C-alpha cells in the first residue's frame, strides 16, 4: 500500500535536459555536414572534356588578363620565377579561382575559394595539393594570403607543370 501523505514522484528533469542537448547536437552536426557538402559542390566543379575544349576555356579565361604577367611563372625543375608586384590601393580580394586541366585524365577542374576562408587558415599559406585527381607537383609552389593581397587582383599562375603536363591558371578577384 502507498502512503497517501507522501509527495507525488517528481519527474527527472535532468534526463530531459540531457536528451534535449544530445538531440540538438545531432541536428547541428547534420546541418554542418550538409552545409559542407553544399559548399564543396558549389565551389568545385570537375568534368571530363576534350583537350580542345579545355584549351578554349583557358584561352577565354586568359584573355581577361591580356598583357599581365603572372605572379608565379612555372618553368619546371624547381626553377619557377616569382615576380614581385604590389598593386596600388585596391578593393579587398574576394575569391581565389583555379582552373586546371589534367591532360592524362582529360579532366577540367574549376575551384573558387573565398578569401575569408583563406584568411582563416592557421599559417595563411596557400598550398596547391593533389585535389580532385589533378596531378600537379606543388611542393615548390608556395605563397601566402598576404602575398596575394599585396599583389592585388589579377593573374597568379599561368603555366603547365612539366612533370605531369597539367595546365594551371590561378587568379584572384
Distance of CA 155 to the CA centre of its chain: 17
The pTM (predicted TM-score) of the whole model is: 0.72
Kindly list the domain boundaries of the chain, sorted by start residue.
13-44, 49-172
Q: Walk along the chain (173 residues) and give the pLDDT tens digit of each residue.
A: 556 666 666 667 888 899 999 999 999 999 999 988 888 788 888 899 999 999 999 999 999 999 888 888 776 666 666 777 777 777 889 999 999 999 888 999 999 988 888 888 777 777 655 444 444 544 545 678 888 888 889 999 888 877 778 899 999 99
15-29: burial string, b at 16+ Cβ within 10 Å, e else = eeeeeeeeeeeeeee
Report d(CA 93, CA 95) in Å as an integer: 6
The angle formed by the CA atoms of residues 23, 29 and 30, to the nearest 5 degrees, is 90
Question: Coil, strand or helix: which one is 133?
Answer: coil
Q: What is the pLDDT of residues 109-138, one digit of tens each?
A: 999 988 888 888 777 777 655 444 444 544
Q: What is the CA radius of gyration of the chain?
A: 25
Report d(CA 25, CA 27) in Å as an integer: 5
Question: What are the residues facing 101 on neighbouring strands?
Answer: 108, 167
Residue 155 grid coordinates: 593573374
Residue 166: how many other CB atoms lie within 10 Å: 22
Proportion of the chain in helix, strand, coil states, percent, rounded to 5: 35, 25, 40
Amino acid at each position: 500500500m502507498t502512503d497517501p501523505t507522501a509527495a507525488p514522484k517528481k519527474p527527472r528533469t535532468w534526463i530531459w535536459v540531457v536528451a534535449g542537448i544530445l538531440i540538438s547536437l545531432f541536428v547541428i552536426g547534420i546541418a554542418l555536414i550538409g552545409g559542407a557538402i553544399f559548399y564543396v559542390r558549389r565551389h568545385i566543379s570537375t568534368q571530363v572534356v576534350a583537350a580542345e575544349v579545355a584549351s578554349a576555356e583557358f584561352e577565354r579565361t586568359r584573355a581577361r588578363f591580356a598583357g599581365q604577367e603572372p605572379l608565379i611563372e612555372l618553368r619546371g625543375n624547381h626553377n619557377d620565377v616569382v615576380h614581385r608586384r604590389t598593386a596600388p590601393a585596391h578593393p579587398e580580394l574576394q575569391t581565389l579561382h583555379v582552373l586546371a586541366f589534367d591532360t592524362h585524365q582529360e579532366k577540367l577542374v574549376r575551384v573558387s575559394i573565398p578569401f575569408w576562408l583563406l584568411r582563416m587558415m592557421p599559417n595563411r599559406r596557400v598550398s596547391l595539393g593533389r585535389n580532385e585527381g589533378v596531378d600537379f607537383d606543388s611542393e615548390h609552389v608556395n605563397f601566402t594570403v598576404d602575398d596575394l593581397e599585396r599583389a592585388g587582383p589579377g593573374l597568379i599562375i599561368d603555366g603547365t607543370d612539366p612533370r605531369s603536363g597539367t595546365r594551371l591558371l590561378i587568379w584572384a578577384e
